[in-house]
Structure 1
């Protein structure tokens, strides 16, 4: 199929990620500058301000982590606190229904895995296109190995 993306391909919520990364930098810089400019703060208080700024920025950076990486051998789903590697044959269906916060992958073990790397949030049309591309890749890759059972 010529409409399939070239592998490897990484799907990310680009606009959401840009907002989170910008906010992380801005919060860190603003709180740090305030801490350094306030003369009534002791050195320990200044350090606690900078530590708090780093902590808040770290949370935002963690929230910007989700992605879905499709490669020849399978898919890696990186969510906020976890990462899971899947073979193409393990993915039965790719869903992004109206109102879903992100893509869900139906797996051959009977479970469903959220893939936060494709989420409609700020960029709905991009998420729909990414979900279709991942669905097409999963369908093409699973039929490339007919000996693998598909539940």
Structure 2
């Protein structure tokens, strides 16, 4: 991934927009469908049956909202990685390298403490070109603001 893209305006948020749109749309349709079916059922259905149907729709919607949560937010001081259930704030000096290799499900950040952190907010699933562009931009930001960079604008 050559870092030929200009640095984006900060703060910038990277997220899989197509995947998010699909997940939230499907979740909304499922919730509406379960609610309509629950309310349209004939009278032998008890209120608990109806509320169970609506609750199931809400549960499916909540799960799809959770799956649409990942994002990577970069600002002048560092980067915040929000995955499914975790959020981690990193200073630029902690990010040594941004990796998106062929076959990777999302970007991985090599950290100064010797570990690697998945950044699920940049994933090539439905929008490969967007993911590659975002990975290049994040790499350029890490190079510019991290341990090797002196550009603190």
TM (normalized to structure 2)?
A: 0.92
- Inter-partner Cα distance in structure 1 for 2:150 and 2:78: 12
* Other-structure match for 1:144: 150
Report deviation, 1:97. Answer: 0.2
- Of 63, 66, 81, the residue aligned with 2:67 is 63
- Out of 90, 99, 113, the position equivalent to 2:117 is 113
Q: Distance in 1 between matches of 2:138 and 2:113?
A: 19
Aligned with 2:30: secondary structure? helix
Q: How many residues align?
A: 145
Q: Which one of the candidate residues 64, 68, 82 is aligned to 1:78?
A: 82
Q: Deviations over 1:5-29 (max 9, x none)?
A: 0100000000000000001100000
- Per-residue deviation, 1:2: 8.2
Deviations 1:48-73 (Å, cap 9, x if unpaired)?
Answer: 11111101100000000000000011
Give, in whole Å, the separation in 2 of the partners of 1:131 and 1:108: 19
Shift of 1:47: 0.5
User: Displaced runs of 4+ in structure 1, greater than 6 A?
Assistant: none
For 1:66 and 1:135, locate their aligned partners in 2 and report how far apart those are by CA, in whole Å: 18
> How large is the RMSD of aligned CA atoms in angstroms?
1.3
- In the TM superposition, residue 41 of structure 1 has moved relative to its aligned partner by 1.4
Give the structure 1 partner of residue 10 of structure 2.
7
Question: Which sections of structure 2, spanning at least 5 residues, go unmatched?
Answer: none
CA contact (8 A) 2:31 2:61 kept: yes
